[in-house]
Amino acid sequence: MKITLPILSFLLRQLLILSVLPPCCWIILTDAGGGKWDLLLPNIGISAMHMQLLNNDKVVIFDRTDNGRSNISLPKGRCGNDPNDCTAHSVEYDVGTNSVRPLRILTDPWCSSGAVMTDGTLIQTGGFNHGDHAVRVYKPCRGYYCDWQEFKNGLTQRRWYATNHILPDGRQIIIGGRRQFNYEFYPKTPSGDKSYFLPFLARTNDPKTENNLYPFVFLNVDGNLFIFANNRAILFDYTKGKVAKTYPTMPGGEPRNYPSTGSAVLLPLKNLQGRAIGAEVLVCGGAPKGAYLRAKNNGNFVNALSSCGRIQITAFNPQWTMETMPLARVMGDMVLLPNGKVLFINGASMGTAGWDLGRNPVLSPVIYHPDKLKGSRFEVQKSSATPRMYHSTAILLRDGRVLVGGSNPHPKYSFMRIPFPTDLSLEAFSPSYLDPKSVSLRPKIFSPASQSVIGYGQQLTIKFTIPPGRLNKSSVMVTIVAPSFTTHSFAMNQRLLILSGGNVTAIGLSKYKIRVVTPSSKNVTPPGYYLLFVVRQDVPSEGIWVQIK
């Protein structure tokens, strides 16, 4: 086996981490065996603070522009705002070729937010300093010519640690941010070029700590927005600027948003043709009250939270149901898998988000089974060897793997003699449905073609093959997933739907078709690009891209 210099550097860095950090500070469950880890690239040049998968199977990744030189140069003759810094702070990762190319970003996108528009264009907003009012546009294209377009004054208010969400009409709403208790919309219109006060954000702001940044926002099936900040939530009618419902405070009252930094998902939506569609939200992890100030001011790192709260946001009298994770976790990511399960990955078991405020990396992912009985929903997976602390990310890829990168808990890039060096690598976590033993179950879609356009409330026939063998027709379902913009432990716009119908018929040797009905409402499925999967006995096909409009 030939070991290249970048891989050798990566291995030496892992040994350095092991030597600096005592074994007691690693959260590893050695008897857990589900899933597989692969190192994709030991050095992409930047640390993956923000990631978004686009419909050309390329991932836009970026860090920040105010932390000095990165480890990847811009093309010859190009520099940033600083003529002494001709390095890139953004890259495009090509999943198919496992390669990166540098992108030129000028305004500072540190701790920013974003979402993909209905045509597949990434609209990315806010950041730090000269980037806090910026709107950045990235249009996927073929070849090597795509790059950022930037509009320095595209926002009404400064947005740093805000959250974006796509709306049924195709606009984005941008909510909150540091010292911003308001929201605004994008694109701008002559009558809508302003921001609107949201008292809920002011009420959830903890003095000296905040704990309501990067609020968890989900589009409910009735068209209103579920907004969770700190330890409580509202259902917000953004069309009228009014609170439609106030939810109970999560039991325990512990903060879950930045810098206490738990994570949250909208659980898979199903029964989409029923009279009433239910929607549930799961909020997990975080840090106890006061943890941020204790870590920052005194170097006292307290244990992260191991609790999760689950609530049916569409219920007449919604109440939280609490569960306990097998591993406490702060700064973790939650990724919806194509089979409807939830992957918990990355993070630490002590401290909070912030510069060097996390300790004890949690190296073992956990899969959550939403449909199992309470008490049997968590399944610990195989551990990674790489700590993914503050500024880590994870997103779903079309082939069912989860792309994992980032970890830079330092103001600058730092690699030597510290517990958690800046990490520039990319890994892939393959859930157990990608194990070789699952090959005999895996479907392969051959119709419709990827990039097909589908409408609302229409019958959709999907044709697929399976390896020879007996097919239990009731074990097949179709899911669609909206890829997320992920940063700071929250996957914005992440959404999975299980399509109704599911009548499977044979059309040839090992060939089948399944007829489903697409969602009928933009409130349930905002227009845009989705990944469509055929899932058989929890084993998904490779996804295809579909555009719903």
pLDDT, one tens digit per residue, over 433-445 is 999 999 999 999 9
Predicted confidence (pLDDT) per residue in 344-389, tens digit: 999 999 999 999 999 999 999 999 999 999 999 999 999 999 999 9
Q: What are phi and psi of 61, to 5 degrees?
A: -125, 140
Q: What is the pLDDT of residue 18?
A: 44
pLDDT band at 8 (very low <50, low <70, confident <90, very high): very low
C-alpha–C-alpha distance, residues 420 and 362, integer Å: 13
What's the sign of the alpha-carbon dihedral 118, 342, 382, 541? negative
User: pLDDT at residue 1 above 90?
Assistant: no
Confidence of residue 178 (pLDDT cuts 50, 70, 90): very high
Could you give phi then psi for residue 70, rounded to 5 degrees?
Answer: -90, -170
Reply yes or no: is the peptide bond before residue 187 cis, omega within 30 of 0.
yes
pLDDT over threshold 60, residue 12:
no
Q: Which residues does 413 contact at the CB level (< 8 Å), separation at least 6?
A: 47, 67, 68, 69, 70, 71, 422
Strand order in the sheet with 307-312: 263-266, 280-284, 307-312, 321-324
Q: What is the mean pLDDT of residues 539-543?
A: 98
Whether the pLDDT of residue 266 is over 70: the answer is yes
Q: Which of 98, 114, 92, 107 is nearest to 46 (CA)?
A: 92
Mean pLDDT, all residues of the chain: 93
* The pLDDT of residue 470: 79
Least confident of 1-15, 144-158, 439-453: 1-15
Question: What separation in angstroms does the CA of 377 have from each of 172, 297, 449?
Answer: 34, 37, 35
Cβ contacts of 268 within 8 Å, gap of 6 or more: 336, 340, 370, 479, 496, 497, 498
Query: DSSP secondary-structure letter at 440?
Result: G
Question: CA Rg, the chain, in Å?
Answer: 22
Which 3 state secondary structure label does DSSP give 282? strand
Confidence of residue 26 (pLDDT cuts 50, 70, 90): low
How confident is the model at residue 27, as a pLDDT? 56
* Interval 321-351: pLDDT, tens: 999 999 999 999 999 999 999 999 999 999 9
Q: Which of 5, 18, 130 has its CA nearest to residue 65?
A: 130
> Residues 501-525: pLDDT tens digits?
878 999 999 999 999 999 999 999 9
Q: pLDDT tens, 74-130? A: 998 788 888 888 999 999 999 999 999 999 999 999 999 999 999 999 999 999 999
pTM (two decimals):
0.94
Question: Residue 25: which pLDDT band, with cuts at 50, 70 and 90?
Answer: low
pLDDT band at 176 (very low <50, low <70, confident <90, very high): very high
What per-residue confidence (pLDDT) applies to 190? Answer: 81
**Confidence category of residue 136, pLDDT binned at 50, 70, 90:** very high
Query: Is the model's pLDDT at 4 over the cut of 50?
Result: no
CB of 94 closer than 8 Å to CB of 100? yes
pLDDT for res 471: 85
Query: If 0-12 CB within 10 Å is exposed, 13-18 middle and 19+ buried, where does residue 467 land?
Result: exposed
- Is the pLDDT confidence value at 169 over 60? yes
Least confident piece of the model among 10-14, 47-51, 223-227, 255-259: 10-14
How many CA atoms lie less than 13 Å away from 329 in the CB half-sphere?
A: 30
Residue 32 clears pLDDT 80, i.e. is over it: no
Residue 497 has pLDDT above 90, yes or no: yes
Q: What is the DSSP letter of 9?
A: H
**pLDDT one-digit tens code per residue, 396-414:** 999 999 999 999 999 999 9
Q: How many CB atoms lie within 10 A of CB 136?
A: 26
Residue % of the chain over a pLDDT of 90: 86
SS3 of residue 481 by DSSP: strand
> Average pLDDT in the 254-261 region?
98
Beta bridge partners of residue 394, listed in sequence order = 404
- pLDDT at residue 29 is higher than 80: no
Percent of the chain scoring above 70 in pLDDT? 94
